[in-house]
């Protein structure tokens, strides 16, 4: 769940361009491993993550488009195998009705 603060760089009647950033808290809902895999172990799986999310948004008339990056802590932390940091890119297209 992100809590973002933003600032409008450009504000016109037709076009808005904005930036946003803030903390994000995530949690793992399911952890399925490939069949027969003995490399993964639940003791190295982190149940929740704290990170940062930032991005750029554009509003044109009643359409909105957001592009965001999210960097969080380690989902899987096995010192002998893998460093499983969480990084996500999100692209959102919306339609304003109010």
**CA 45 – CA 78 distance, rounded (Å):** 8
Q: Which of 90, 93, 21, 19 is nearest to 56 (CA)?
A: 19
Identify the pLDDT of residue 3. Answer: 82
Average pLDDT over residues 44-63: 84
For 15-37, what is each residue's pLDDT tens digit? 999 999 999 877 666 555 555 55
Which pair of structure tokens corresponds to residue 96?
Answer: 């304003």
- 6's enclosing H/E stretch is strand 5-11
Strand partners, 31: none
């Amino acid at each position: 769940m992100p809590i973002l603060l933003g600032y409008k760089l450009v504000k016109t009647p037709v076009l808005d361009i904005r930036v946003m950033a803030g903390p994000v808290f995530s949690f793992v809902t399911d952890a399925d491993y490939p069949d027969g895999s003995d490399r993964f172990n639940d003791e190295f799986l982190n149940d929740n993550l704290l990170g940062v999310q930032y991005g750029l948004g554009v509003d044109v008339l009643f359409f909105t488009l957001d592009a965001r990056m999210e960097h969080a802590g380690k989902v899987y932390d096995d010192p002998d195998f893998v460093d499983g940091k969480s990084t996500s890119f999100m692209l959102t297209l919306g339609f304003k009705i109010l």
